[in-house]
Amino acid sequence: MQTMQNMHEYAFFLGCIAPNRYPGCEASAIKTSAKVGIKLLPLEGASCCPAPGAFGSIDLNVWYAMAARNLCLAEQMKKDIALICNGCYKSIYEVNHILKHDEELRGRVNEILKEIDMEFKGTIDVYHLAELYYDPKVCGVQKIRDSVTTPLTGAKVACHYGCHLLKPKKERHLGDTEAPTWFEELIAAVGAEPVEYRNKMMCCGAGGGVRGYDIVHALDITNEKLINISEVGADAISELCPFCQLQFDRGQIEIKEKFGDVYNIPVLHFNELLGLAQGMSPQDLALDLHAVDCTPFLEKVL
Amino acid sequence: MAAKSYDNPELNKKLADQRYHNSQSNPEFTKDILKTSRTVANMCYQCGTCTGSCPSAPRSTYRIRLFMRRNVLGLENEALTDPDLWLCTTCYSCTDRCPRDIAPTDVIMAMRNFAFKRDIVPRNFLQTVQLIYNSGHGVPNNDVNRAARVRLGLTADPPTTHMYPEYIKGIQKILDLYGLKENSDRILKGD
């Protein structure tokens, strides 16, 4: 365990789906990060990021202002933001970046924020917890490996990176978006075997409001990914985004109902996998809230 | 007069119009999209890399390249009234691969913004607005989840607007300043 002085502190931006549907993602983020020198502090009064698909599609100006309000809360704490959802990353990281570099837009957003006694100053940065785990300046793969007490050996895990953490590449800083492997390194660090599969970087299908607009269309995309993932015999899917998690997890139930295809592949956020590897119990992670039963995977690794 | 002329005034007029505008074209639309999308959408040369990268294309009639062309031609009506506009999952694969360094995804987002100005928007988008207006969350907490959170040693409600509802007022003010709640109420009622 780190001493307090060595802890990297971040304002923990929760979003919606992690705290309100998969609380195990939130609990495991707080507990696993504490074991590798990262302290996640509550960001009081934060809201939805807001959902980039829904809000960005309706009125980008509202999207900028609402995301800026969340950023202001962290600026007031004088802490950088860490978060665990790719959708949140799109809103919070991208709006922070745009407003820092576009003076005219910043002025317009601040006119709105003035009405609620806030001002976007551009004094903090935004990170996904997974990139902090991978970054040797903050944590690094070795430290993740060292924190493992129950290696998840014998399980094949398919990595789903999701979209908004890496793409568009020119507005991000996480490297290659065609065949990245850093997530696989993190999976190997917790003792599991990462497996490659066809069209790995394809979308889960849920984003852009499509899950709500045309669920069959969204599920058809998910189904293609599940076919590719099942073909390589994966025991579980791991992702970095609770919305992708929802799409793969509840989506498998919906795909069974609508298309008759059955996969039963458990879907776990990387935080949840790391939690298991650090000795958290399935009860500590509320894996019973997952739609797809995680038991076969758990029996294999624990 | 075009560089090459024919004994056909109508054809000459067409050849002189290097933007291929027709009676349906609104050149202002192209400019509006440029400004809102923050990407040089008018530079598209129709190679089709976007459609080839699109996960929605193989399972629908949605063709991102077609929307890019409609933008260049200023075909506002055609673009904004096409239901396929709402099939983009915003995965940004097209944006990453565009050889012209355009962000077609952001063109779609801008077009959706202009569709909304005409009250064209799927209901689920507006329902998210309602939820955020009332709770601060697009996906709010529920009793099953509250019980699970307590079991995990978390607070029943997360330390967001759920635990600090005094922040919701500020959110409502932002949404009201843009007239978003009012507009979404009106559109939902009109159905």
pLDDT, tens only, A25-35:
999 999 999 99
Whether residues B45 and B128 share a domain: the answer is no
The residue out of B88, B117, B146 marking a domain boundary is B117
Q: Is A240 on the interface with B (CB under 8 A)?
A: no
Instruction: Give me the pLDDT at residue B19, please.
Output: 78
- The verdict on a CB contact (< 8 Å) between A283 and B151 is yes
Instruction: Give me the pLDDT at residue B119, please.
Output: 97
- Percent of chain A at pLDDT exceeding 90: 98
Is position B9 within any domain?
Answer: no
Closest residue by Cα to residue B96 from A250, A25, A175, A61: A175
Who contacts B174 (Cβ-Cβ below 8 Å, separation ≥6)?
A62, A65, A66, A69, A112, A113, A115, A116
Contacts of B101 in chain A (CB under 8 A): 170
Indicate the number of domains in chain B.
Answer: 2
- Residues A260-270 have a mean pLDDT of 98
- The verdict on a CB contact (< 8 Å) between A14 and B175 is no
Return the structure tokens found at A224: 């293609």
ipTM: 0.95
Whether residues B147 and B165 share a domain: the answer is yes
Whether residues B75 and B27 share a domain: the answer is yes
Distance from CA of B123 to the nearest CA of A (A): 8
Whether residues B52 and B137 share a domain: the answer is no
Is position B165 within any domain?
Answer: yes
Whether residues B93 and B140 share a domain: the answer is no
- The verdict on a CB contact (< 8 Å) between B116 and A112 is no
At A150-172, the pLDDT tens digits run 999 999 999 999 999 999 999 99
Whether residues B30 and B95 share a domain: the answer is yes
Instruction: Give me the pLDDT at residue A60, please.
Output: 98
Asked whether the bond before B159 is cis by omega within 30 degrees of 0, the reply is: no
Q: Which of B138, B140, B177 lies at the smallest CB-CB distance from A54?
A: B138
Buried b (16+ CB within 10 A) or exposed e, A69-94: bbbbbbbbbebbbbbbbbbbbbbbbb
The residue out of B117, B137, B154 marking a domain boundary is B117
Mean pLDDT of all residues belonging to chain A: 97
Residue B174 and residue A170: Cα distance in Å, rounded?
Answer: 30
Q: Which of B90, B145, B174 lies at the smallest CB-CB distance from A65?
A: B174
Q: Is B102 on the interface with A (CB under 8 A)?
A: no
Tell me how far CA of residue A113 lies from CA of A72, A168, B174, in angstroms: 9, 28, 8
The residue out of B117, B136, B160 marking a domain boundary is B117
Question: pTM score, two decimals?
Answer: 0.95
Is position B12 within any domain?
Answer: no
Is position B94 within any domain?
Answer: yes
- The verdict on a CB contact (< 8 Å) between B170 and A118 is yes
Q: Which domains, from first to last, does chain A contain?
A: 4-128 (1.20.1050.140), 148-301 (3.40.50.11810)
Whether residues B35 and B86 share a domain: the answer is yes
Starting from the edge strand earliest in sequence, which strands make up the sheet with A267-269, in order? A193-195, A156-160, A236-239, A267-269
Domain of B180? Answer: 123-190
Whether residues B45 and B84 share a domain: the answer is yes
Burial of A6 (0-12, 13-18, 19+ CB in 10 A): exposed
Interface of B with A in 6-25 (CB under 8 A): none
Whether residues B105 and B132 share a domain: the answer is no
Whether residues B129 and B98 share a domain: the answer is no
Contacts of A55 in chain B (CB under 8 A): 128-129, 132
Q: Which of B95, B126, B137 lies at the smallest CB-CB distance from A16?
A: B137
Is position B63 within any domain?
Answer: yes
How do the pLDDT tens digits run along chain B, 191 residues long? Answer: 445 678 999 888 888 887 788 889 999 999 999 999 999 999 999 999 999 999 999 999 999 999 999 999 999 999 999 999 999 999 999 999 999 999 999 999 999 999 999 999 999 999 999 999 999 999 999 999 999 999 999 999 999 999 999 999 999 999 999 999 999 999 999 85
Whether residues B36 and B110 share a domain: the answer is yes
Whether residues B32 and B59 share a domain: the answer is yes
Q: Which of B59, B105, B171 lies at the smallest CB-CB distance from A217?
A: B59
Instruction: Give me the pLDDT at residue B1, please.
Output: 46
Is position B15 within any domain?
Answer: no
